[in-house]
Amino acid sequence: MNIQLTGHHLEITPAIREYTTSKFSKIKRHFDNVMDVTVILSVEKLVQKAEATVHISGKNVFVECQDENLYAAIDALVDKLDRQVMKHKGKLSARRHDETNGGAEEE
């Protein structure tokens, strides 16, 4: 899994980079087909914003979160992204299950 981390009006420190990559390992643990992750962290006055685009085989998932604290925004982002990836994984497994059962029912 390749993680590209970008900052707008924000310098990406080693601590932020380490925190973000450790949080994204949670998504890799649940779904192995994650190819690329693009994360953009930005600051606009009092709002810290984190957004991510995850390239999964066959689909792109986009999520964004805002908070007063950047670390809280990253946590919320990973939680939302985890739910989206698990939802996609469930759809894929349901589709595979339908294909295997669908052929048996027609015979």
Domains of the chain (ranges; CATH) run 2-106 (3.30.160.100)
Confidence band for 18, pLDDT divided at 50, 70 and 90 = very high
Q: Could you count the other beta carbons within 10 Å of the beta carbon of residue 48?
A: 20
Question: What pTM was estimated for this model as a whole?
Answer: 0.81
Query: What pLDDT, on the 0 to 100 scale, is given for residue 57?
Result: 75
> What is the percent of the chain with per-residue pLDDT over 70, rounded to a whole number?
85
Q: State the Cα–Cα distance between residues 63 and 68, nearest whole angstrom.
A: 17
Q: pLDDT tens across 34-82, in order?
A: 778 899 999 998 899 999 998 887 788 899 999 999 999 999 999 999 8
| Average pLDDT along the chain | 85
